[in-house]
Amino acid sequence: MQRALLSVLHPAYADGPCKTANVVQYHQTDMTRAEDIQRLIEAGLPGAQAHVRGDDGQHFEALIVSAEFAGKSLVQQHQLVYRALGQNMQDAVIHALALRTLTPEQHAAEGGR
């Protein structure tokens, strides 16, 4: 069941991700920079604020705050992020990415952390 749900996020990950609460991690190959991922997300989701960490060029964590997430399921929210990352996800440019998606209201309720 979990694998089927995650394959809806992106069919290429039907065998790989592990899901925990509001964090999904995907393992891929190659290297990139946190700043590149942040720019791609913010360009693909106008008005979003992305905070991406990862200094080894392979493992990243992203917190994305966007009004676009309001009323959408976790799956739909992550699909929006994958669309913003586009071909970089499909071509395995991003090795490992843990996503956390929040609406501005959720982010404020957490104290902006």
3-state secondary structure of 1: coil
How much of the chain exceeds pLDDT 90, in percent? Answer: 45
Angle at 68 between CA 16 and CA 60, to 5 degrees: 40
In the chain, the amino acid numbered 42 is E
Strands, sheet with 59-65, edge to edge from the N-terminal-most edge strand: 18-20, 23-27, 96-102, 59-65, 49-53
* Model pLDDT, residue 109: 94
Average pLDDT over residues 45-58: 89
Answer whether CATH 3.30.300.90 is correct for domain 2-109. Answer: yes
The confidence band for 41, taking pLDDT boundaries of 50, 70 and 90, is very high
* Model pLDDT, residue 48: 97
18-40: per-residue pLDDT in tens? 444 444 444 444 447 899 899 99
3-state secondary structure of 70: coil
In the chain, the amino acid numbered 110 is E
Average pLDDT over residues 85-89: 76
Average pLDDT over residues 79-89: 84
Average pLDDT over residues 82-97: 75
